[in-house]
Amino acid sequence: MKSASSLLARVALATPLFALAAIGTLVAWRLPPTLASILARQPNFVGPFEADGVGLFFIGAAFVLAGAAAVAAVGGLAAFLPGRLALRIVRLGFVAAYVAVAAYLLLVARTVGVIGQHTLTIDELPQDAVTLFTLWWSFSAAAFLPLMMALMGHVMSWRASTLAVFGSGRAADDTAAGDRIIENVRTGGGDPLFRKSWLSSFSGHLLLIVVIPWLVRSIGCSERYSVPHGSGEEAVAAVVQVAKPVKKKKRRYMLNLNSAIILSRPDIDKDSDVDENVEKASEITYVADANSAQARAGGKMGKGGGKTGGWPDGVGDDPVRFFRIKHGGPGWDDGMDEVSRADMNFLEEFKKVTGFKIARSPEARTIAQLKNFDKGFAPPFLYLTGAGSIPVSSSDVKILRDYLFDGGMLFADAGSPHFHDSFRALMAAVFPDRQLVTIADDDPIFQAPFVFPNGAPPLWHHGGNRALGVKHQNRWAVFYHPGDINDAWKTGASGMSRDLANASYRLGVNIVYYSFTNYLDLTRKHRK
């Protein structure tokens, strides 16, 4: 019986030590590739991390964790040896675990601190005190499990029954330091009322600082998109028209096959007028509408008939923001870099046309993150592009469908023929009972604030040259240009003529206006 209890005590000490050794080894092995993965996903981290020695912190922490894991493993083996020295080695294993946890928490704090110090963005999203704390907690929380394991094992190593097993000369029923600690925790110590008050205060702070913010972010009530409040005009300011080329009557020649004329195949590049015709077909003309309310009264874009601009159902005076959908396929962020600046170029053009404040940088969200927006405060439109596949889960499909049914709008274009096929497949999953249909040239989306008599301007035809869409409750929930508007918005317009690039900007203004107006009308009840 005594032998069995002795073995049980040794196993109780060895088990957490071996578990701690395994955890430490795994984390030490994963730290270097984790850093490489972070830098690959967030290239803006490279410079600040190098300057502040974050890489050295990762390497140092990996060595500390590996060393602590080795000491913990030796302590686990020592648990099955007799003598006081073996017990000291066991305790040393638990102390090594404390050191490992401290090194890991220091690494997390240092890394998050550098992100905050340099105001770095994560996935193009700015970080504040709340998001940085959440980031710290998301990486630090896992460290408290091994910490509790080490604490409990360490206390057990100081119990009288454990001392007796390792031959300290103390009887198993005596009271030792470990027994007193356990009894103190169980009874509340010499002042149970003070202990209860202290625990209540700690629990309350933990609830307010950690638990509630985490629940809020998990449930999805932490983000809002606000459309500018005010009153503006719906009328057009200009007509954007594609000039139709005038066909010339071709001359017809009759040849005598017996003549000495040499017939040769023409050089397509030199002799063909295809390029000239395409260029003429893409010419854009702008005709000011002198009868529009905006032209007469100098009003700004919006709804309600006022001159200040904005929407009566809008909220506040926040900047207009531009959101992309971040998906796992290639090219989702094409044009977001500081050189191409597609999104920012559009926002700046939008500001010139409307006078509204705009965000200082473009933003991206995964489909899953759409749940983080309050009802009635989601982005009225989301932009989607790419050059290949669009990998989405079944839950992503449902979230996107709910977003569109709740008043949101998907504004998409094709960066390649492959993406065109992928987008059609995505729409078939989101709308199994509907199809992408051609949007008529006289549709309201082409009428305000700019008029496009011939519909969407022709761009690169990765999937055709007519705008397509999906309607829900008599509004366009999806607007899809099979060309590449994104390229037209890039700095330099990807070689496109300035007039056609301007038409692409103005088409974007129409889509934003359409999405703002319809979203606010459909979700008014959520902002009461």
pLDDT tens track for 34-46: 999 889 888 889 9
pLDDT of residue 259: 54
* Residues whose CB is less than 8 angstroms from the CB of residue 227 and which lie 6 or more positions away in sequence, other chains included: 310, 311, 313, 314, 315, 320, 380, 516, 519, 520
Average pLDDT over residues 216-241: 68
Q: What is the mean pLDDT of the chain?
A: 83
Asked if the model's pLDDT at residue 7 lies above 90, the reply is no
Structural domain includes residue 341:
yes
DSSP class per residue in 439-456: PPTTSGGGTSSEE-TT-S
Which CATH number fits the domain that encloses residue 502? 3.40.50.12140
State which of 142, 160, 187 marks the end of a domain. Answer: 187
Asked if the model's pLDDT at residue 520 lies above 80, the reply is yes
* Residue 120 near residue 45 (C-beta atoms within 8 A): yes
Q: Could you tell me what percent of the chain has a pLDDT over 70?
A: 81
Structural domain includes residue 47:
yes
| CA 367 remoteness from chain centre | 8
Question: Count of domains in the chain?
Answer: 2
Strands 238-242, 437-438: pairing is unpaired
Spell out where 331-408 has E strands: 363-365, 381-384
* pTM for the predicted model, two decimal places: 0.55
Question: One-letter amino acid identity for 60?
Answer: G
What is the token pair recorded at 35?
A: 């850093």
Asked if the model's pLDDT at residue 495 lies above 80, the reply is no
Domain boundaries, position 342: 269-527
State which of 136, 161, 187 marks the end of a domain. Answer: 187
Structural domain includes residue 203:
no
State which of 187, 213, 247 marks the end of a domain. Answer: 187
Q: Are residues 302 and 164 in the same domain?
A: no
Task: Report DSSP state, residue 496.
Answer: -
Structural domain includes residue 159:
yes
